[in-house]
């Protein structure tokens, strides 16, 4: 049974998706989604244990040896992402039980869970595959399901955001396909390991350069690297809460992993970072993203939109670590992938609670939150401190790691940019604290009624019904993630060893 785990990682959520469609009850669909999430987490844990010592598991699909067949590859570089996906999926399952009921019309809930299962299928599929074209197929599965899920947001702008994401996301996917095609044209293979074997023979080939550039640009769109980030703020802020949590915590991270996989193990450090100035380009766009993301976040009037812009800055930070192409840089990037997922998961989950309690996520409606909902507000503040990078939060641990990696590589300018972006983070987190703690709340009942009116006026059937109580199933995940964001700051041994293992595989020239 254990030898089948790589395939099960993808197949279980897929079968559950089909099951959700067959079932007649919304509760049953939720149950199936929970089963899929839990099973994926357990599978991911089991796989992590198997590759803990640096082993690589190869699984031949259909019994055909690669490169004729498609193989799945599990190593330390992707179990991190698998674990993260599994944890976020379980959290989404717990959180979604109440939140989806309140945000999505009843008759759509079964299909909603089916789409969530498919999103998981796609994300897991991208992460485990060892075949370049197969990666494209699963990328499109995850993208298609996220377009549909984002479009279900309560306001009509969700539709526009989903459409814009669809267009730009498809262009990105097609760019990836072009890149894979160019690499295929000069090697004749799609298998990542086989590509890595054959590419050195055609080094310096202009088609290989083209392949690297197109794959990089295509994935950069999916990663929302500045200046290709335009789709992200709308998509993250308008999607239903659960979808926001999953996309913000792991959506872009999977694309970052895919890029690292292509850059380090398929094309190799020599081609991507030494022969081509891709590394420098990443450092430039990463720095710009840190400044622009954090800077624009300071001027947002909506909590979720603020968080989305902050994500653009944080993605910039992660890709900067990758762009350094050193073991410590990649390790810092992985560490920040983990920590940022935890922090942003907590914040978007808190935003979902606000939506249900206040009927809106505008900063204005958060006035006086500290006194009215101290626990939620406390979680927001703790996670916010992590975004700034205040010790002893997880954000500090990963920023420290990235700073050391930058110093090691003598990148002082980027270090200054990073510090500046942390200052900007202090500004936007400060605004939330200011509104929530120091500003007096307007009369609650009146404001709530007004917000609901606006939502109704938006002519969307998914009007949020305001609740007086926060369900434990929603508060629990927020608390758990907030606590984890502090815990990973104090005792970073688990995330660090995972990140170090990943960096070893990627930069050590290990087999893809």
Partner 1 sequence: MIATHYTYWIIFALMMIGLYAVMSHGNLVKKLIGLNIFQVAVFMFFISLGRVDGGSPPIITEGIEVYSHPLPHVLILTAIVVGVATTSVGVAIAIRIYEAYGTVEEDNALARDAAEEGTQ
Partner 2 sequence: MSTFDLAEAVLLGILIVTAVAITRARSLFVAAMLGGLFSLVTASLFVLLDAVDVALTEAAVGAGISTVLFITALALTNSREATTPRRRVIPAGLVAVLATAGLVYASFDLPGVGDPDSPVQTHPITDTYLRESQEDLHVPNTVTGVLASYRGYDTLGEVVVIFTAGIGVLLLMLGPRRPADEVKDRAYLQTEYRVLRVVSKTLMPFILLFALYVLLHGEYSPGGGFQAGVIFGAGFILYTLMFGLAAVQRVLPMRTLVVLVAVGVLIYAGVGVATMALGGGFLDYNEFNPGNPSGGQVAGILLIEVGVGVTVAAVMVAMFYSLVRRGVRR
Residues that bind partner 1 (CB under 8 A): 133, 136-137, 140, 144, 147-148, 151, 156-157, 159-160, 162-164, 166-167, 170-171, 173-174, 177-178, 181, 184-185, 190, 454, 459-460
**Closest distance of CB 65 from partner 1, Å:** 16
Q: Are 398 and 340 in contact (CB under 8 A)?
A: yes
**Closest distance of CB 428 from partner 2, Å:** 29
Q: Are 324 and 409 in contact (CB under 8 A)?
A: yes
Residue in 98, 21, 156 with CA at minimum distance from that of residue 455: 156
* Residue 454, binding choice from partner 2, partner 1, none, Cβ under 5 to 8 Å by partner class: partner 1
**Closest distance of CB 302 from partner 1, Å:** 10
**Closest distance of CB 237 from partner 1, Å:** 13
Q: Which is nearer to partner 2, 68 or 494 (CB)?
A: 68
Q: Which is nearer to partner 1, 190 or 383 (CB)?
A: 190
The residues that bridge with 131 in the sheet, in sequence order, are 191
Question: What does the alpha-carbon distance between residue 87 and residue 249 come to, in Å, rounded to a whole number?
Answer: 10
Q: Which is nearer to partner 2, 255 or 435 (CB)?
A: 255
Give the chain's end-to-end CA distance (angstroms, integer): 24
71-74 and 57-60 beta bridge pairing: antiparallel
The residues that bridge with 58 in the sheet, in sequence order, are 73
Q: How far is CA 59 from CA 4, 64, 130, 471, in A?
A: 8, 10, 9, 42
* Residue 207, binding choice from partner 2, partner 1, none, Cβ under 5 to 8 Å by partner class: partner 2
* Residue 157, binding choice from partner 2, partner 1, none, Cβ under 5 to 8 Å by partner class: partner 1
* Residue 187, binding choice from partner 1, partner 2, none, Cβ under 5 to 8 Å by partner class: partner 2
Q: Which is nearer to partner 1, 115 or 373 (CB)?
A: 115
Question: What does the alpha-carbon distance between residue 35 and residue 120 come to, in Å, rounded to a whole number?
Answer: 12
Q: Which is nearer to partner 2, 65 or 430 (CB)?
A: 65
Q: Which is nearer to partner 1, 48 or 451 (CB)?
A: 451
Question: What does the alpha-carbon distance between residue 136 and residue 412 come to, in Å, rounded to a whole number?
Answer: 37
Question: What does the alpha-carbon distance between residue 166 and residue 157 come to, in Å, rounded to a whole number?
Answer: 14
Q: Which is nearer to partner 1, 147 or 377 (CB)?
A: 147
**Closest distance of CB 178 from partner 1, Å:** 6
Q: Which is nearer to partner 1, 132 or 417 (CB)?
A: 132
**Closest distance of CB 488 from partner 2, Å:** 34
**Closest distance of CB 232 from partner 2, Å:** 18
Token digits of residue 133: 């074209």
Q: Which is nearer to partner 2, 140 or 238 (CB)?
A: 140
Question: What does the alpha-carbon distance between residue 200 and residue 134 come to, in Å, rounded to a whole number?
Answer: 22
* Residue 121, binding choice from partner 2, partner 1, none, Cβ under 5 to 8 Å by partner class: partner 2
**Closest distance of CB 180 from partner 1, Å:** 9
Q: Which is nearer to partner 1, 120 or 294 (CB)?
A: 120
CA quadruple 105, 111, 114, 119: dihedral sign: negative
**Closest distance of CB 468 from partner 1, Å:** 25
Residue in 37, 138, 35 with CA at minimum distance from that of residue 89: 37
Residue listed under structure tokens 């993301």? 293
The residues that bridge with 205 in the sheet, in sequence order, are none
* Residue 156, binding choice from partner 1, partner 2, none, Cβ under 5 to 8 Å by partner class: partner 1
**Closest distance of CB 229 from partner 2, Å:** 15
* Residue 459, binding choice from partner 1, partner 2, none, Cβ under 5 to 8 Å by partner class: partner 1
**Closest distance of CB 457 from partner 1, Å:** 8
* Residue 177, binding choice from partner 2, partner 1, none, Cβ under 5 to 8 Å by partner class: partner 1
The 10 Å CB-count burial string (b at 16+, else e) for 430-460 is: ebbbebbbeeeeeeeeebbeebbeebeeeeb
Phi, psi angles (nearest 5°) of residue 113: -65, -35
* Residue 163, binding choice from partner 1, partner 2, none, Cβ under 5 to 8 Å by partner class: partner 1
Q: How far is CA 454 from CA 42, 156, 340, 451, 463, in A?
A: 43, 12, 33, 5, 9
Q: Which is nearer to partner 2, 214 or 348 (CB)?
A: 214
Residues that bind partner 2 (CB under 8 A): 4, 7, 11, 14-15, 17-19, 21-22, 59-64, 67-70, 107-108, 111-112, 114-115, 118, 121-122, 125, 131, 133-134, 137-138, 140-141, 144-145, 147-148, 151-152, 175, 178, 182, 184-189, 198, 202, 205-211, 213-214, 461
Q: What is the CA radius of gyration of the chain?
A: 22
Question: What does the alpha-carbon distance between residue 419 and residue 308 come to, in Å, rounded to a whole number?
Answer: 20
Q: Which is nearer to partner 1, 84 or 190 (CB)?
A: 190
* Residue 198, binding choice from partner 1, partner 2, none, Cβ under 5 to 8 Å by partner class: partner 2
Cβ contacts of 107 within 8 Å, gap of 6 or more: none
* Residue 206, binding choice from partner 2, partner 1, none, Cβ under 5 to 8 Å by partner class: partner 2
Question: What does the alpha-carbon distance between residue 293 and residue 300 come to, in Å, rounded to a whole number?
Answer: 11
Token digits of residue 2: 């254990």
**Closest distance of CB 146 from partner 1, Å:** 10
Question: What does the alpha-carbon distance between residue 168 and residue 42 come to, in Å, rounded to a whole number?
Answer: 34
């Amino acid at each position: 049974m254990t030898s089948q785990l790589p395939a099960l990682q993808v197949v279980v959520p897929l079968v559950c998706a089909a099951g959700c469609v067959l079932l007649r009850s919304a509760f049953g669909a939720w149950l199936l989604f929970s089963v899929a999430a839990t099973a994926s987490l357990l599978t991911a844990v089991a796989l992590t244990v198997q590759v803990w010592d640096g082993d690589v598991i190869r699984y031949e699909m259909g019994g055909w040896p690669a490169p004729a067949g498609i193989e799945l590859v599990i190593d330390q570089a992707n179990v991190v992402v698998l674990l993260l996906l599994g944890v976020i999926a379980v959290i989404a399952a717990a959180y979604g039980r109440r939140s989806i009921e309140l945000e999505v019309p009843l008759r759509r809930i079964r299909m909603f869970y089916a789409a969530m299962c498919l999103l998981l299928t796609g994300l897991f599929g991208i992460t485990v595959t060892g075949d370049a074209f197969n990666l494209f197929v699963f990328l499109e599965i995850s993208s298609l399901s996220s377009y549909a899920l984002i479009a279900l947001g309560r306001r009509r702008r969700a539709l526009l955001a989903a459409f814009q994401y669809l267009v730009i996301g498809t262009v990105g996917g097609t760019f990836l396909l072009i890149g894979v095609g160019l690499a295929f044209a000069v090697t004749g293979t799609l298998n990542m390991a086989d590509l890595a074997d054959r590419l050195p023979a055609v080094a310096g080939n202009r088609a290989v350069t083209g392949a690297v550039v197109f794959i990089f640009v295509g994935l950069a769109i999916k990663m929302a690297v500045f200046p290709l980030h335009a789709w992200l703020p709308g998509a993250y802020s308008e999607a239903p809460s659960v979808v926001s949590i999953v996309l913000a915590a792991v959506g872009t991270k999977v694309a970052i992993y895919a890029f690292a996989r292509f850059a380090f193990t398929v094309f190799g450090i020599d081609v991507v970072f030494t022969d081509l100035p891709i590394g420098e380009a990443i450092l430039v766009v990463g720095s710009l993203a840190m400044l622009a993301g954090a800077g624009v976040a300071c001027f947002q009037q909506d909590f979720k939109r603020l968080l989305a812009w902050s994500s653009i800055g944080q993605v910039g930070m992660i890709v900067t670590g990758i762009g350094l192409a050193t073991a410590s840089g990649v390790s810092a990037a992985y560490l920040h992938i983990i920590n940022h997922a935890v922090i942003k998961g907590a914040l978007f989950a808190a935003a979902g609670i606000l939506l249900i309690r206040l009927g809106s996520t505008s900063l204005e409606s958060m006035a006086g939150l500290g006194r009215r909902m101290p626990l939620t507000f406390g979680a927001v503040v703790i996670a916010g401190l992590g975004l700034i990078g205040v010790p002893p939060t997880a954000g500090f641990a990963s920023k420290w790691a990235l700073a050391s990696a930058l110093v090691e590589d003598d990148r002082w300018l980027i270090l200054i940019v990073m510090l500046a972006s942390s200052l900007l983070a202090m500004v936007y987190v400060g605004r939330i604290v200011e509104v929530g703690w120091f500003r007096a709340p307007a009369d609650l009942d009146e404001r709530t009624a007004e917000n609901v009116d606006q939502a109704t006026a938006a002519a969307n059937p998914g009007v949020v019904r305001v609740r007086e109580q926060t369900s434990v199933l929603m508060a629990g995940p927020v608390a758990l993630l907030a606590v984890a964001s502090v815990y990973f700051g104090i005792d970073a041994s688990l995330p660090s060893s995972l990140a170090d293992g990943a960096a070893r595989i990627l930069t050590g020239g290990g087999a893809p």
